[in-house]
Amino acid sequence: MSLPTAHAQNVYGSSDHWMGSKLSAREQELRSIVTMSLNGDPSGSYHEVDSFPEGYNYGDEDEVIGAVGGVENKPRILLMGLRRSGKSSIQKVVFHKLSPNETLFLESTSKVVKDDINNSSFVQFQVWDFPGQIDFFDPTFDSEQIFGSCGSLIFVIDAQDDYRQALIRLHQTLTKAFQVNQNIKFEVFIHKVDGLSDDRKWEAQRDIQTKATCDLADAGLDGLLRPSFYLTSIYDHSIFEAFSRVVQKLIPQLPTLENLLNILVSNCGLEKAFLFDVVSKIYIATDSSPVDMLSYELCCDMIDVVIDVSCIYGDDVEACAYDQQSASIIKLSNGVILYLREVNRFLALVCLIREEVFERQGLIEYNFHCFRESIQQVFEVRRKTQGPLTSLGSYSDDN
């Protein structure tokens, strides 16, 4: 592998409109709001778990361009499952950068933890982490309140454990939640598969999938309710991949984004292209070719490399590690090039390109430019339809 040529010009104190001293007051305010909401959180220890470089946040909510889901319809993702199945770990690892090893020391969740992925990520939604010990379909709880405006329900099953109990609970949860709200997208995470051999992984998935669908068929819901199954683990990228798919279902612009990516891929001869949410490393769209886990991991790691290099070698400590100038090319020894370009503050395009194709770099640059314009147009539409309520900043004007 050749040396990465990461460009980090942005950090040289170009005090543009979204970082630096100009916004500090507003930012302070915003941060205090964030801290407050975290303090209200019963198990909110994650604001202490700050493995994220200081200053590497998204700044003003007002400036979020095309953030998916506004204040008015923020999708909700529920994390349910038996106790100790790994719900809190997933939430902390994906959204709070908790090291997977540290999840061992998490306390058991006693209250519903509502985590607002509002101004810390491009994709705006809430993640509700439920304690597994409590049956929330008990009449004392307001199930309409819980499941009424919920977008997705993720049911986590511990694959290392005996999952018969979990399957019973899964069936109950699915049917009851479906009664309350028929628009919920049901996802099943077969979790903690890192400890299983590949054979047992597939076996577990097949077993759980058949049993769950059989149960649903028995209840007469097989046609209406089709949960998706994922094999996940917090020790590799599978949890990010699975969460990407979950989040993608909640993004209304997904077909347009996929189409744009397809056009880009076919016109530039790219191998694979991902549109990443930089902070969470969730990809919000990709082209239609199948996702290879290895390439996804590569792309994730590339984002880490770029951010880390920017952080370490950027001379302005206050500045952010990722801005509109961020771009990077990494040549791999197998003749594949990793190519990262900033799309907007929260999104990055990461592509895998064959070396011989990359000789026409100018063409690719031009095409990328068109692609970026189109993406901005997509979110421009959304911005207009949202009206003045959430006046999103016009980042593109500053380019």
* Contacts with another protein, residue ranges (CB under 8 A): 39-43, 83-84, 104-108, 110-112, 131, 133-134, 140
Which lies closer to another protein via its Cβ, residue 61 or residue 115? 115
| CB 326 within 8 Å of CB 8 | yes
Which lies closer to another protein via its Cβ, residue 141 or residue 202? 141
Which lies closer to another protein via its Cβ, residue 78 or residue 246? 78
Distance between CA 336 and CA 356 in Å, rounded?
A: 9
Which amino acid does the sequence have at 192?
A: K
Query: CA 304, 364, 327 angle in degrees (round to 5)?
Result: 25
For 4, counting Cβ atoms within 10 Å of its Cβ (0-12 exposed, 13-18 middle, 19+ buried), the class is: middle
| CB 18 within 8 Å of CB 57 | no
Complete edge-to-edge strand list for the sheet that includes strand 113-117: 113-117, 125-129, 76-81, 152-158, 185-191, 228-231
Place of tokens 């952010």: 320
Cα 211 to its chain centre, rounded Å, is 29
What minimum distance in Å lies between the beta carbon of 31 and another protein? Answer: 18
Which lies closer to another protein via its Cβ, residue 15 or residue 110? 110
| CB 329 within 8 Å of CB 339 | yes
What minimum distance in Å lies between the beta carbon of 117 and another protein? Answer: 19
Which lies closer to another protein via its Cβ, residue 112 or residue 305? 112
Which lies closer to another protein via its Cβ, residue 84 or residue 249? 84
What minimum distance in Å lies between the beta carbon of 209 and another protein? Answer: 25
What minimum distance in Å lies between the beta carbon of 47 and another protein? Answer: 13
